[in-house]
Amino acid sequence: MKSVLGILITCVGLSSCATAQNAANAMLKTDSIAEKMLVYQLSNGGWPKQLEDKSVVKYEYPLTEGLMQKIKATSPLHATIDNNATSREINALVLAYKQTDNKAYLKAAEKGIDYLLKAQYANGGWPQYYPDKSSYRGEITYNDNAMINALTVILNIVYQTNGFEVVNANYRPKADKALKNGIDCILKTQVVQNGKPVIWAAQYDENTLKPAKARAFEPASLSTGESVGIVRFLMKLKNPTAEIKIAIKNAINWFESTKIVGYKYGIIAPNDKGLVADTTAISWARFYDLNTNKPIFGDRDNSIKASIEEISKERRVGYAWYGTFAQNLLAKEYPKWLKANGK
């Protein structure tokens, strides 16, 4: 970036030179991570979680010539909301704009918002990838909070929170519609057992809205971690409708009825994991059968087992099969929300 002095020297004797403006441009503040996000942004407005050669996007890496070539070779088909991609960049760029007043950051963030609005299905759901819909990438994806991350960006636009008041006002009516459709999708996809709604699956068929499988070890099932994220999102909504309140209450009741008291997920032998006794612990399995509410465990061969001991050791130690997913939700967050919003 040129110095102000350099610009002034360049402009000496040139009456048409807008010295003041150029000097201001020269002094434009930048953010090192935001600058890299501009480089990684794909032509459709989204961001990848990995490049064409499957290397993971890491903004702490220097932009070497070799890395720049990999970024340029990455197809827009890699645009995704998985692993926080796209929502992470939009949030960071909005903050960077507020800190630097660098309009390039806001422009990139709004292009990312355009991508999210375009990627949303008419039924309100978001696919894991867009426009690539191969394999399970086209499924409505709550897994790893993908859809909830996208909806939180939309919510911030509507509520003008977390710095999103800087986003062009023209986005608000579009975001309001996207938010309503997204909430509708959440309510429609809450799994129902014998007439009673419980929690949610991690993925859904984008056409039938029925729970669907993803990777071999991720069967169609009730998903605790993702459902906690959904409930937390619903509790952010202002003036929640009776339907939203009921959805939250039903999910809370399910978490209460399925908690595993006195055990935590930990090391049971060298290089092996399972449930370990702990009188202070409260846990849930990651996946539950859609009908019986019993924990289930998937393996790389597409098999589904009833106990963690039955799956391969590689999967036992390489995946979070149990966790404290809803502990804070039940103990602190829901009571606080209930006090503020009534029964």
- Per DSSP, helices labelled H in 127-241 are 146-159, 171-189, 224-234
Place of tokens 């975001």: 175
Cα–Cα distances in angstroms (integers) from residue 71 to residues 49, 54, 105, in the given order: 11, 11, 19
- Strand, coil or helix: what is 165? helix
> In one letter, which amino acid is 292?
T
Strands (E), 155-218: 192-193, 196-197, 203-204
Strand-strand pairing, 272-285 and 322-323: antiparallel
Residues 147, 298: Cα–Cα separation, whole Å: 23
Closest CA to 213 of 321, 287, 312: 287
Round to the nearest angstrom and report the end-to-end CA distance of the chain: 58
The half-sphere exposure of 289 on its side-chain side, counting CA atoms within 13 A, is 10
What counts of helices (H) and strands (E) characterise the chain? 13, 11
Residues 160, 2: Cα–Cα separation, whole Å: 36
Strand-strand pairing, 304-305 and 260-269: unpaired
Residues 71, 57: Cα–Cα separation, whole Å: 9
CA 175-181-183 angle, 5° bins: 100
| Contact present, 53 and 70 (Cβ < 8 Å) | yes
- Structure token digits, residue 142: 């709550």
Residues 150, 30: Cα–Cα separation, whole Å: 26
List residues with catalytic annotation: 83, 215
